[in-house]
């Protein structure tokens, strides 16, 4: 279970304090505010705060003195138009703040998105928790042969069991060594009175990349869409996709009109290169085109054909 009892109590306490506000509010998002949405074996996504809603996008696009919205249909039309034509600044007028618990090797991919604000749990100052990621057996794949960056076939059951057992035992041992090095247990209690513990900032070196860290992460909607387009993409590593998928649902509950536009014009859209467009135009005119006479490489041809099927 990703959340301990005292943590859950703190979350529940926050969900009981309602205040009136003149700001735009989103009822569907308020329903999950602060709640821990589970991801992987010990991770979570929590929505901590948000600014704006679909109407705030419209309001900013119109630089309005009031709400700035017209009919639902016109507002959706404007949001679609903005998304389609890459007028991205009105989407920056919405902001969301998450609390995320995630394995370190995923945190290292995630942090590459620079246009966001981050406060990470400090392992210089505090003791890490004894929680590490062990993949589900169904996720244990071999290196992909087609796509050199990614996963291919599943490992067979016996091999998979061996892998999982190794990762688990070594992670447990790593945490035990970590506490021994610091001479402090998980709660910060001294282990051996006569011994000197190593500084936390050094002891953490013993931990492996599957240990969980956590951070507060805040981002505007435009940059969140950019993050999600890359991280919910089939080429992204499964573990970060698991987070992106949960975040997509929070976005749907927050800004349904913008989410719809994002699905139509980004997630489900495809870009064709100049030579690929040339091929498509020919095909639509009924001309026969083959990879050989297309001017496209085998790889691009295959990518195009996959998209067009």
Site for its own copies in 177-236 (CB under 8 A): 177, 181-182, 195-202, 204-210, 214-216, 218, 220, 230, 235
Q: Is 172 among the residues that bind its own copies (CB under 8 A)?
A: no
Q: Which of residues 231-260 bind its own copies (CB under 8 A)?
A: 235, 237
Instruction: Compute CA 103 distance to the chain's CA centroid, rounded to the nearest angstrom.
Output: 12
Decide if 266 is catalytic: no
Closest by alpha carbon to 134, among 99, 101, 171? Answer: 171
The Cα–Cα gap between 291 and 297 comes to 7
Closest by alpha carbon to 229, among 256, 269, 272? Answer: 269
Query: Which one, 191 or 202, has the nearer CB to its own copies?
Result: 202
Interface with its own copies (CB under 8 A), residue from 71, 146, 187, 268: 268
Write down the catalytic residue from 46, 200, 204, 231: 231
Q: Is 37 among the residues that bind its own copies (CB under 8 A)?
A: no
Q: Is 97 among the residues that bind its own copies (CB under 8 A)?
A: yes
Which residues are CB-contacts of 283 (< 8 A; sequence separation ≥ 6)?
289
The Cα–Cα gap between 92 and 52 comes to 10
Q: Is 133 among the residues that bind its own copies (CB under 8 A)?
A: yes
Q: Is 129 among the residues that bind its own copies (CB under 8 A)?
A: no
Tokens of 287: 């001309």
Query: Which one, 104 or 242, has the nearer CB to its own copies?
Result: 104
- Per rule CB under 8 A, count of chain residues that contact its own copies: 133
Closest by alpha carbon to 140, among 127, 124, 153, 122? Answer: 153
Q: Is 124 among the residues that bind its own copies (CB under 8 A)?
A: yes
Closest by alpha carbon to 47, among 29, 63, 27, 61? Answer: 29
The Cα–Cα gap between 42 and 172 comes to 15
Q: Is 18 among the residues that bind its own copies (CB under 8 A)?
A: yes
The contact pattern for its own copies, residues 274-303, with x = CB under 8 A and - = no contact, is xxxx--xx-xx------------x--x---
Please list the active-site residues: 231
């Amino acid at each position: 279970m990703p959340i301990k009892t005292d943590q859950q109590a703190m979350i529940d306490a926050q969900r009981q304090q309602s205040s009136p506000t003149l700001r735009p509010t989103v009822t569907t998002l308020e329903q999950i505010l602060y709640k821990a949405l589970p991801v992987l074996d010990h991770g979570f996504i929590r929505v901590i705060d948000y600014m704006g809603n679909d109407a705030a996008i419209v309001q900013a696009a119109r630089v309005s003195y009031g709400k700035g919205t017209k009919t639902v249909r016109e507002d959706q039309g404007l949001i679609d138009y903005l998304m389609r034509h890459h007028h991205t600044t009105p989407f920056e007028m919405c902001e969301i703040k998450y609390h995320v618990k995630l394995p370190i090797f995923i945190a290292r991919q995630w942090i590459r998105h620079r246009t966001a604000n981050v406060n990470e749990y400090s392992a210089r100052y505090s003791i890490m928790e004894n929680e590490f990621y062990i993949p589900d057996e169904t996720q244990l794949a071999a290196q992909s042969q087609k796509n050199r960056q990614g996963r291919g076939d599943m490992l067979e059951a016996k091999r998979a069991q061996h892998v999982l057992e190794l990762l688990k035992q070594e992670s447990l041992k790593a945490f035990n060594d970590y506490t021994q090095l610091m001479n402090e247990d998980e709660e910060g209690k001294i282990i051996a009175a006569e011994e000197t513990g190593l500084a936390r900032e050094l002891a953490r070196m013993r931990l492996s990349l599957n240990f969980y860290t956590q951070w507060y992460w805040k981002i505007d909607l435009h940059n969140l869409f950019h993050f999600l387009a890359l991280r919910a993409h089939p080429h992204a590593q499964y573990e970060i996709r698991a987070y992106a998928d949960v975040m997509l649902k929070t976005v749907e509950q927050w800004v349904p009109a913008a989410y719809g536009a994002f699905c139509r014009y980004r997630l489900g859209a495809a870009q064709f290169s100049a030579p690929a467009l040339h091929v498509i135009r020919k095909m639509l005119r009924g001309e026969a085109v083959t990879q050989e006479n297309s001017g496209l490489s085998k790889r691009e041809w295959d990518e195009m054909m996959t998209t067009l099927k």
